[in-house]
Amino acid sequence: MRHSIRFVMAGLVILAAAFPAAAQENSGSLAGAELAQKWCSDCHLVGRGQSHSNDAVPSFAAIAAAPATTAMSLHAFLLTPHGPMPDLKLSREQIDDVVAYILSLRQR
């Protein structure tokens, strides 16, 4: 898939740029936000700018707000495909990014 290769490359560039910085969590959630927009927003409400998605699918804000949600539970969940998601294989880094993004939506 042409698209995913380009996206992985972009992710790697972002990661490489972020690596020396101490503030890795922020850049992770930024890359995660892009990833979520691209791969997850067909089904999930992934951010504040989006007005509708599929009603049967929990929004990322709702997922973040659930007490049972932790970085660990999200990692475990995302290691296996879910929903009708053909061909979506997230790398470890992509999972880290998108988990950081989802958790960044948690109200503090």
Site residues (vs ligand HEC, CB under 6 A): 36, 39-40, 42-44, 56-58, 63, 74, 77-78, 82-85, 90, 98
Residues 105, 38: Cα–Cα separation, whole Å: 17
- Name the residue nearer to ligand HEC (CB basis): 22 or 87: 87
Q: Cβ neighbours of residue 43 under 8 Å, at least 6 residues apart?
A: 53, 54, 57, 83
Taking the complex as a whole, the smallest distance from the CB of residue 9 to ligand HEC amounts, in Å, to 17
- Name the residue nearer to ligand HEC (CB basis): 2 or 82: 82
Taking the complex as a whole, the smallest distance from the CB of residue 22 to ligand HEC amounts, in Å, to 25
Residues 76, 79: Cα–Cα separation, whole Å: 5
